[in-house]
Amino acid sequence: MRPMTTPRPCNPVTLEIIRGAIRAAQAEMEALIERTAMSAFIREKKDFYTALFDADGVMAVGSNVPVFGDICGPVFRDFPIETIREGDLYWYNDCYGSRGAVSHSNDQVFLAPVFLDGKRVAFVMGWAHFADIGGLRAGSISPDATEIFHEGVIIPPTLLIRDGTVNQAALSIFYRNSRYPRTAQGDTRALMASVELGVARMQEIAANFGADVLADALAQLLARTRDTVRGRLMETFPIGTHRFTDRIDGDGHGSGPLRLRFALTRTPDDRLILDASETDDQSVGPVNFLMNPDVPGMALGLYFLGGDPTQVVNAGGPRSLDEVILREGSLLFPRFPAALGMRGLTMMRMLAALNGLVSVAGGEAPAAHAAYVIMLLRGTIGGKHFLMSDGLGVGYGARGFADGIDGVYFVAQENYPVEFLETEYPVRLREYGLNIDSGGPGRFRGGCGIVREYEVMAEESILAVRLDGVENPPWGAAGGQSGRPGRVVLNPGLPNERVLKPLSDGNRVVRGDILRIETGGGGGRGHPFDRPAEAVLEDVLGGLISAGSARADYGVVITGRAIDEAATEALRANRPATLAFHRGSYADALD
């Protein structure tokens, strides 16, 4: 006779109901931020996230964004969890004080506990990128920054609301440090309202099912994610050490290329250890990425959970790894007060490097993606200062079963619509479309970047740009070729044409100047000659690749709007040799 087991407080059916209810609450919080925030980067770009945590502050349900670390820990360090009260609201943006839970200072975290009948049952968080918080340049991020003090005001964990009283003095200091205080005020109110809504929804869920059932449901979601991710890591990585190196072009201050070196070891007793200690030293410029130790597991979790509607992204991903080793003073663990504002391009290389680890181990992770591009145009028009912060989409790497995605900014974030740009800022859009031939050739083509061409309408302004992958484009895998690089050009095709440094600030532009930004594509996967000729023709007709690329890269000859089958067969008979990876040329391993 089998021994009787004690049933868990939350049964499988109730677990799925609670999972759906929590995701609905999270989505409602995000919708409120989107509809009430004032800054374009939040309202239009959708650079915001929410998350829900258990009673101990462990993330139970998060957005599908692999850059979160231990969000609650920094608050608990300064405000012990047993002292936290119902109605409290906590706030911070301190990157170093949070050990990378926030990775650049524009990102603000608002965190509140949830109580039911006097018992703490959860925490909720709202997070968003604020347009300007002071610092060296408008927008608070600049390639010129060399220390974090250049990047705006730093807020350590702060008790913002207690017993219904708002710490207005703290908010006044924050607003006073912004060049656009009304926008900062509106965004703060939006985040505070979102968190208040999340608290109410979690209280309703706890009241409907009971605190014990909710606690068990959150524990089961954590365990399910951990077990799933760990199981898939074990399936992918045999015993031994697997290594991958990726690199960024530089920091805009003369350093580069800068290498990210990862090693994942599975020991004979099935411990999983991720070691990034051999990554290059931190940089002078603002491309350092203060990577919280939870981030690699979160990123791997997002990859392995992709496409599974029964799973949620949470702290189970980080718990699937037994150890993460970082070296203080490196690009991924810089020493205070190194600048962090442009950390996005290093973060994107980090995500690609983790895909590379999976590929080295024999998995079919996507080829590398390009790092999304940032531009900041600052100036005056009609006597008023303006700040145009635009983030531009890029091409993502080809997958083992499909082409890469075209024109993606980052996860669920969006490219600005043309109508919005022309209404809000002194620019006219002359061209907006996909960047032809930017996707890496392969059996599955890398995604294409985009082209934006602006005519500047302000009398005079200053431009900052952040673009990577010009010298070290996103790699291709399994015979696929690397994505093609982007570029930034002022007045293309005119006598005063000027190619701008891809990571630079202080670029002067005047009324009538044409600014053209071409973003890079993702790497391809599989031999390009294995791509069906009909798919190549479709790409040519669709404006994704040129007839010249079809011939040179894919061995497909297009005449008019049709395939020259005889010429194609002759070309493809001379099949070029390939190796495991490609970044400008083929190699068995990247360095």
Average pLDDT over residues 521-548: 98
pLDDT surpassing 80 at residue 1: no
> Rounded to an integer, what distance in angstroms lies between the CA atom of residue 124 and that of residue 229?
24
Q: Which of 483, 478, 349 lies closest to 401 in space, CA to CA?
A: 478
pLDDT surpassing 90 at residue 65: no
User: Which residues 6+ apart lie within 8 Å of 15 measured at CB?
Assistant: 217, 220, 221
Phi, psi dihedral angles at 90 (to 5 degrees): -115, 155
pLDDT surpassing 90 at residue 68: no
> Rounded to an integer, what distance in angstroms lies between the CA atom of residue 511 and that of residue 494?
15
Over residues 287-323, the pLDDT tens digits come to 999 999 999 999 999 899 887 777 888 999 999 999 9
323-325 and 514-518 as β-strands: parallel, antiparallel, unpaired?
A: unpaired
Helix (H, G, I), strand (E, B) or coil at 233: helix
Q: Which of 129, 122, 127 lies closest to 59 in space, CA to CA?
A: 122
Q: Which of 190, 207, 195, 171 lies closest to 87 in space, CA to CA?
A: 195
The partner residues of 451 in beta bridges, in order of sequence, read: 433, 518
Over residues 27-59, the pLDDT tens digits come to 999 999 999 999 998 998 889 999 999 999 999
How confident is the model at residue 378, as a pLDDT?
96
> Rounded to an integer, what distance in angstroms lies between the CA atom of residue 312 and that of residue 305?
8
Instruction: Say how many Å lie between the first and final Cα of the chain, rounded.
Output: 59
Over residues 559-572, the pLDDT tens digits come to 999 999 999 999 99
Q: What is the mean pLDDT of the chain?
A: 95
Task: Indicate the pTM of the whole model.
Answer: 0.95
pLDDT surpassing 70 at residue 70: yes
Over residues 102-140, the pLDDT tens digits come to 999 999 999 999 999 999 999 999 999 999 999 999 999
Kindly indicate the confidence band of residue 6, based on its pLDDT and cuts at 50, 70 and 90. confident
Question: For residue 107, how far is the Cα from the chain centroid?
Answer: 13
Phi, psi dihedral angles at 565 (to 5 degrees): -65, -40
Q: Which of 357, 547, 22, 509 lies closest to 500 in space, CA to CA?
A: 509
For the chain, what percent of residues have pLDDT higher than 70? 98
